[in-house]
């Protein structure tokens, strides 16, 4: 079974531009969550999608957005890029929604997209 696939692996953008990152979950997984990892802040939760609906959002500005398609693939978009947005962006998929109490399933992470903003 193929793992979680994130594209692209590396991206270089300039300040003010926008960027779209893609995540294809493991086949059959309907929950996709996104995370930002920086040396200073570590890993931080961005948002989670389940069945095309955003179920939860972390403390990030509105420049960070996402969506999920009917095939469970997800994209995240960052508009008006800032230098501080340089980070490793990771997505993870799981079988069921993270929010159904008692129905937790393990997370499967992709290898991430390393975004550099210059």
Partner 1 sequence: KNEVEQSPQNLTAQEGEFITINCSYSVGISALHWLQQHPGGGIVSLFMLSSGKKKHGRLIATINIQEKHSSLHITASHPRDSAVYICAVSLVTQGGSEKLVFGKGTKLTVNP
Query: From the CB of 97, what's the least distance to partner 1, in Å?
Result: 7
In the complex with partner 1, which residue's Cβ is closer, 16 or 96? 96
**Residues found near partner 1 in the complex (CB under 8 A):** 33, 35, 37, 42-45, 48, 55-56, 58, 88, 90, 92, 97-99, 101, 104, 106-112, 114
In the complex with partner 1, which residue's Cβ is closer, 78 or 90? 90
In the complex with partner 1, which residue's Cβ is closer, 30 or 114? 114
Q: Which of 117, 113, 94, 90 is nearest to 104 (CA)?
A: 94
Residue 34 burial class via C-beta count within 10 angstroms: exposed 0-12, middle 13-18, buried 19 and up: buried
Compute CA distances 111 → 24, 67, 108, whole Å: 12, 20, 10
């Amino acid at each position: 079974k193929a793992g979680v696939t994130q594209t692209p692996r590396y991206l270089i953008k300039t300040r003010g531009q926008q960027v779209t990152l893609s995540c294809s979950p493991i086949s059959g997984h309907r929950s996709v969550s996104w995370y930002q990892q920086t040396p200073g802040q570590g890993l931080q939760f961005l948002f989670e999608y389940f069945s095309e609906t955003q179920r939860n959002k972390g403390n990030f500005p509105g420049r960070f957005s996402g969506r999920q398609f009917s095939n469970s693939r997800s994209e995240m978009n960052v508009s008006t890029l800032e230098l501080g947005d340089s980070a490793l962006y990771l997505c993870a998929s799981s079988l069921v929604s993270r929010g159904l109490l008692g129905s937790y399933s393990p997370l499967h992470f992709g290898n991430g997209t390393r975004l550099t903003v210059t």
